[in-house]
């Protein structure tokens, strides 16, 4: 079971990397700078982190709202925010760091 999950996760990361690499090849053909493969791998993991943490947090939040936003249960918006926002923000930070490009005044 765990091996299958890790295999699927690896295939998804490779699929996202392939799509990002195709985008970078088009940029390279236009004479624009491209990102390295390592940056694209980090960006792929960041996309999955943002997708899973933001998606699960959103599902829990909408489920909590649909249940009438009861405050006597163990799930509330505070718990959802505490558990889903840090990974979401870390994933966004990694995505931003992996995909940013050097400015015009920066030297390679």
Q: How many domains does one find in the chain?
A: 1
Interior angle at CA 79, CA 75 and CA 82, nearest 5: 160
pTM beyond 0.85: no
Residue 94 within a domain = yes
Q: 67-93: string of b/e by CB count within 10 Å (b at 16+)?
A: eeeeeeeeeeeeebeeebeebbeebee
Residue 108 within a domain = no
Residue 92 within a domain = yes
Residue 11 within a domain = yes
Q: Which domain holds residue 67?
A: 2-99
Residue 45 within a domain = yes
Report long-range pairs for 95-100 (Cβ below 8 Å, ≥24 apart): 95/43, 95/46, 95/47, 95/50, 97/42, 98/35, 98/39, 98/40, 98/42, 98/43, 98/46, 99/35, 99/39, 99/43
The pLDDT value recorded for residue 104 is 46
Residue 13 within a domain = yes
Residue 107 within a domain = no
Please list the pLDDT of the chain residue by residue as tens digits (108 residues).
778 888 888 888 888 888 888 988 888 888 878 888 888 888 888 888 888 888 888 888 888 888 777 766 677 788 888 888 898 899 999 988 888 876 544 445
Residue 106 within a domain = no
Q: Going by C-beta distance under 8 Å and a sequence separation of 6 or more, which residues neighbour residue 76?
A: 64
């Amino acid at each position: 079971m765990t091996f299958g999950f890790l295999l699927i996760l690896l295939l998804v990361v490779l699929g996202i990397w392939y799509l990002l690499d195709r985008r970078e090849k088009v940029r390279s053909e236009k004479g624009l700078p491209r990102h390295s493969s390592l940056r694209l791998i980090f960006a792929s993991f960041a996309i999955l982190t943002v997708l899973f943490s933001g998606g699960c947090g959103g599902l829990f939040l909408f489920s909590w709202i649909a249940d009438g936003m009861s405050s006597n249960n163990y799930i509330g918006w505070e718990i959802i925010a505490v558990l889903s926002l840090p990974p979401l923000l870390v994933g966004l930070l990694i995505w931003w760091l992996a995909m940013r490009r050097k400015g015009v005044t920066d030297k390679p």
